[in-house]
């Protein structure tokens, strides 16, 4: 198959009088590692929520893998291959690590038979989930309840949970937030590994170091508008992007990191 994996066409969304997303269009090429950046409040997470179906857009269309999914219920999107992580970790606190990952398999296991067969030690779902955790080098005990685990590991588990759906496009919302430099470097290798497995990655991230070393392309949002769509190498030379960042309180921290 060819063509972009994801296409946003003229998306707009307002909350009350505030135009959060204003006529945004861009494409995510198949197999790309793409960044969605912009100052705080630019509408990045809203774009994610529009893509995953948490919000319905006021205008515009979301086209995934050649199919218009604008009106598709949020629950069905992950089954098509659109999986995401969240800005604030949203793992199920009372589920163990492996159970959280098995929850990620749900889109492939929703039949009545799969729902009613046990997920014991010999179940193929559990073995798949454990294998995926091992592949991704998460060497914590998989039976541990996630509420007690450290932040960095939970952040990674959330990515693995999304991967368990075997997505075509993985959307990550600030995966490096709250991580120290060595954890961030590990996360980068982890994402490269995922990408080499053939999964397209769209990432919202403030850490420009991570963005530049991971992504080849970037789109930049400011006040809900698209102001840049091109390579990550040139993004910091773009006058509009510079203005957006320097005019905001993130001037010093983001772009030159």
Partner 1 sequence: MSGYLAGIIAILSINVIFAYGIFLAVASGQLNLGGAGFQAVGAYAAGWLSANLGLPVALTLLAGAVVAGLVGVALAFPILRTRGVYLVLATFAFAEVVAGLILNTDALGGAMGMSVPGYVEWQVPMIGAVVVALLVFYLMTTRFGLTMRAIHDDEDVSDLMGVSIRNVKVAAFGVGAALAGLSGAFYAHNFGYIEAQGFNAMVSIYVLLYVLLGGTQTAWGPLVGAAFFTLLPEILREVLPAAKEVVVTLFGGVPDGSRPDESWRFVILGVLAVAFMAIRPEGLITRTMVERLSFRRRTAPGMKEATE
Partner 2 sequence: MMLFLQQLVNALMLGSVYVTVAVAFTLTIGILNFLNFTIPTLFMLAGMVGWALSYWGLPFGLSGPLHWALALAIGIAAAIAVSLIVERFTFRYLKTKYGDSTEHAIPLVSSLGFLLIVENLVRIAYGTEARRFPGPDANMTLDVGGILVRIPQLVSLLITVLIVFALVQMMKRSRIGRGLRAIAENPDAANILGIDTKRIVPVVFMLTGLLCGLAGALFAVNYGEVAPMMGEDIGSKAIAGMVIGGLGSIWGAVLGGLCVGLLEMMTVHFFGADTVQIVVWGALLVVLILYPKGILGHHSIGKGKL
- The residues binding partner 2 (CB under 8 A) are 93-94, 147
Q: Given the complex with partner 2, which of 120 and 150 has the nearer CB atom?
A: 150
**Sheet harboring 67-68: ordered strands across?**
18-28, 6-15, 59-64, 67-68
Closest distance of CB 133 from partner 1, Å: 12
Q: Given the complex with partner 1, which of 4 and 152 has the nearer CB atom?
A: 152
Q: Which does 150 bind (CB under 5 to 8 A by kind): partner 1, partner 2, none?
A: partner 1
Q: Given the complex with partner 1, which of 118 and 239 has the nearer CB atom?
A: 118
Structure token digits, residue 74: 């949020």
129/125 Cα distance (integer angstroms): 6
Q: Which residues contact 165 (CB under 8 A, 6 or more apart)?
A: 78, 79, 81, 83, 104, 105, 106, 107, 108
Q: Which does 106 bind (CB under 5 to 8 A by kind): partner 1, partner 2, none?
A: partner 1
Q: Which does 88 bind (CB under 5 to 8 A by kind): partner 1, partner 2, none?
A: none
What are the backbone dihedrals phi and psi of residue 177, each rounded to the nearest 5 degrees, phi first? -60, 130
Closest distance of CB 49 from partner 2, Å: 17
Burial of 103 (0-12, 13-18, 19+ CB in 10 A): middle
Closest distance of CB 93 from partner 1, Å: 6
Closest distance of CB 95 from partner 2, Å: 11
C-alpha count within 13 angstroms, C-beta hemisphere, residue 224: 15
**The length of the chain, given as a count of residues:** 257
Closest distance of CB 253 from partner 1, Å: 24
169/195 Cα distance (integer angstroms): 10
Helix, strand or coil for residue 19? Answer: strand
Closest distance of CB 23 from partner 1, Å: 26
Q: 44-66: buried (b, 16+ CB within 10 Å) or exposed (e) per residue? A: bbbbbbbbbbebebeebebbbbe
Which residues share a beta bridge with 28?
A: 6
Q: Given the complex with partner 1, which of 103 and 177 has the nearer CB atom?
A: 103
Q: Given the complex with partner 1, which of 52 and 222 has the nearer CB atom?
A: 52
Q: Which does 237 bind (CB under 5 to 8 A by kind): partner 1, partner 2, none?
A: none
Q: Given the complex with partner 1, which of 17 and 115 has the nearer CB atom?
A: 115
Question: Using CB under 8 A as the criterion, which residues of the chain lie in contact with partner 1 when the complex forms?
Answer: 52-54, 74-79, 84, 86, 90, 92-96, 99, 102-104, 106-107, 109-110, 114-120, 125, 139-141, 143-145, 148-153, 161, 165
């Amino acid at each position: 198959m060819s063509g972009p994996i994801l296409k946003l066409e003229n998306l707009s969304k307002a909350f009350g009088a505030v135009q959060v997303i204003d006529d945004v269009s861009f494409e995510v090429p198949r197999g790309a590692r793409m960044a969605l950046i912009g100052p705080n409040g630019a509408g990045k997470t809203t774009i994610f929520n529009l893509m995953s179906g948490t919000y319905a857009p006021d205008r515009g269309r979301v086209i995934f893998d050649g199919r218009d999914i604008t009106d598709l219920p949020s629950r069905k999107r992950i089954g098509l291959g659109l999986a995401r992580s969240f800005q604030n970790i949203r793992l199920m606190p009372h589920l163990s690590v492996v159970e959280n990952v098995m929850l990620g398999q749900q889109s492939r296991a929703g039949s009545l038979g799969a729902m009613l067969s046990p997920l014991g030690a010999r179940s193929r779902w559990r073995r798949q989930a454990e294998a995926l955790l091992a592949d991704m080098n998460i060497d914590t005990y998989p039976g541990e309840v996630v509420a007690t685990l450290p932040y960095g590991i939970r952040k990674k588990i959330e990515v693995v949970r999304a991967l368990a759906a075997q997505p075509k496009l993985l959307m990550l919302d600030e995966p490096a937030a709250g991580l120290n430099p060595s954890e961030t470097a590990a996360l980068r290798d982890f994402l490269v590994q995922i990408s080499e497995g053939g999964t397209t990655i769209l990432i919202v991230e403030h850490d420009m170091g991570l963005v530049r070393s991971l992504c080849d392309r970037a789109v930049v949002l400011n006040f809900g508008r698209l102001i840049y769509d091109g390579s990550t190498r040139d993004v910091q030379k773009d006058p509009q992007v510079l203005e957006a960042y320097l005019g905001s309180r993130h001037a010093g921290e983001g772009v030159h990191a």
